[in-house]
Amino acid sequence: METSPAPAETTTGFTLKTQLESGAHGERTGKPLGRTGVIHTPHGDIQTPAFVPVGTKATVKAVLPELVKDAGAQAVLANAYHLYLQPGSDIVDDAGGLGTFMNWQGPTYTDSGGFQVLSLGSGFKKVLSEEFSGSGRADTEVAPSKERLANVDDDGVWFRSHLNGDVHRFTPEISMRIQHELGADIIFAFDELTTLLNSRGYQEEALERTRLWAQRCLKAHQSLSEQRNKPYQQLFGVIQGAQYEDLRRKAAQDLGSMEIDGQRFDGFGIGGALEKENLGTIVGWVAEELPEDRGRHLLGISEPDDFFAAVEAGADTFDCVNPSRVARNAAIYSPDGRFNVTRAQFKRDFGPLVPDCQCYTCTHYSRAYLHHAFKAKEMISSTLATIHNEYFTIHLVDRIREAMENGTYVAFKEETLGRFYAGNWGRKA
């Protein structure tokens, strides 16, 4: 383990603590990519690596903010697209910002809305949801013949509300205004999300459009920060480029060095279309090109093998709806894999969901009770299952961080993944 001296806190909001000797190393520098650190925000520090639960509409579905905190969450992420449509970012602003509005006392993130504009507003939800599953829909042999029918132009995006069909416009400036009104500690630049079904030519066009939008986001962010006289919000640029190494590296170089009138990105989101088996490789390409003194957030992952691959390649924080989404369908995470608590074998099982788990659900309720609650379609079933799944995911990443810092990472990884994917219930419920 190489330990770096802790520098004084900087305006970037990130402090590097340690670097991981094992795992991926930068090809250009030979330095390890995996690291631990601290992201500093006006509402508290985030020890990294860290998992950030998703509260899309200013709520982690079915769970009180106090219970999200009790589960160990250091921060939560909400969505600009959804909160813009309902209740309106101006209402959240008048309430005192996202944290105050949802009664969350810690750090908050908002994403730019770009993903939802495409997946909901442009009708690509199914394609996007299957890209990361390894299902084969994103086969590159199909991609060259496919062009996306999205309402995108060089200035921004037109989209229809999934709530009532009204037409709306998002531009970099509008996204920045919305996110400033939402008041999250960390916000993201507006980008054009592509899919693996888009051609190489379209990926290049979209990447250049995203680069130009990033410049406009920096300019708008600086202006709004000066006008609003609020605590500073860190702006993360989003790295796109799909599965192409040269495009990913170019995007990271462009955004990593970008500065407009003295304003630069405070960190970076790694997003867009990628195949699961290439996750670590792609994150590594990006991390090699990005500055080390700023945070890196990987958007939309929550499976144990993905955490290890991404951490080794240099990612710092993660978010995903999956722990809460599968919980509402009775799928429970355990060290031995995922299982469905509605199975008949749990009808008279009066033990906790996971032995030795210290979450609120496992210390107060049995498998038999959750089996009953789901079968009876009681709302408490979603609440209790979500508490457990969020706790499991948050604490898995916490334990990864601890193992990185105490020199037991390799052994912890082998034990954790070997047990999870060889468990009695297998990989998926």
pLDDT, tens digit, for every residue of 73-95?
999 999 999 999 999 999 999 99
Q: Which of 94, 155, 319, 336 is catalytic?
A: 319
Is 246 noted as a catalytic residue in this protein? no
Q: Which of 45, 93, 111, 398 is catalytic?
A: 111
Q: What type of residue is 229?
A: N
What's the whole-number mean pLDDT along residues 318-337? Answer: 97
Q: Tell me how far the alpha carbon of residue 185 is from its chain's centroid.
A: 15
Give whole-number Cα distances, 33 to 177, 284, 289, 290, in Å.
34, 7, 11, 11
Containing 393, the helix (H) or strand (E) segment is helix 380-406
pLDDT, tens digit, for every residue of 98-149?
999 999 999 999 999 877 776 654 444 434 334 443 344 433 333 343 444 3
Residue with the bigger pLDDT between 55 and 116: it is: 55
pLDDT at 161: 83
Containing 327, the helix (H) or strand (E) segment is helix 322-327
406 pLDDT band, cuts 50/70/90, is: very high
Q: What six digits make up the tokens of 39?
A: 């992201």
Tell which phi-psi region holds residue 13, choosing left (phi > 0), alpha (psi between -120 and 50) or beta: left
With contact defined as beta carbons under 8 Å apart, do 281 and 306 qualify? no
What's the whole-number mean pLDDT along residues 7-24? Answer: 74
Q: CA–CA separation, 153 vs 161, rounded Å?
A: 18
What's the whole-number mean pLDDT along residues 176-193? Answer: 97
Over 226-280, what HEC string results? HHHCCCCCEEEEEECCCCCHHHHHHHHHHHHHCEECCEECCEEEECCCCCHHHHH
pLDDT, tens digit, for every residue of 201-255?
999 999 999 999 999 999 999 999 999 989 999 999 999 999 999 999 999 999 9
What's the whole-number mean pLDDT along residues 39-63? Answer: 97
- Name the residue ranges covered by the structural domains of the chain: 48-320, 331-421
Lowest-pLDDT choice from 121-130, 160-169, 176-185, 380-389: 121-130
Count CB-CB contacts under 10 A for residue 140. Answer: 12
Count CB-CB contacts under 10 A for residue 334. Answer: 19
Q: What type of residue is 281?
A: T
pLDDT at 89: 98
Give whole-number Cα distances, 5 to 17, 19, 55, in Å.
7, 11, 35
pLDDT at 166: 86
Q: What type of residue is 414?
A: E
With contact defined as beta carbons under 8 Å apart, do 317 and 268 qualify? no
pLDDT at 11: 44
Q: What six digits make up the tokens of 134?
A: 């390894």
Is 319 noted as a catalytic residue in this protein? yes
Q: CA–CA separation, 322 vs 231, rounded Å?
A: 31
Record the pTM: 0.90
Q: CA–CA separation, 136 vs 138, rounded Å?
A: 5
Can you say whether the dihedral through the CA atoms of 55, 56, 58, 63 is positive or negative? negative
Could you give the 3-state DSSP secondary structure of residue 3? strand
CATH number of 48-320: 3.20.20.105
Q: CA–CA separation, 383 vs 349, rounded Å?
A: 20
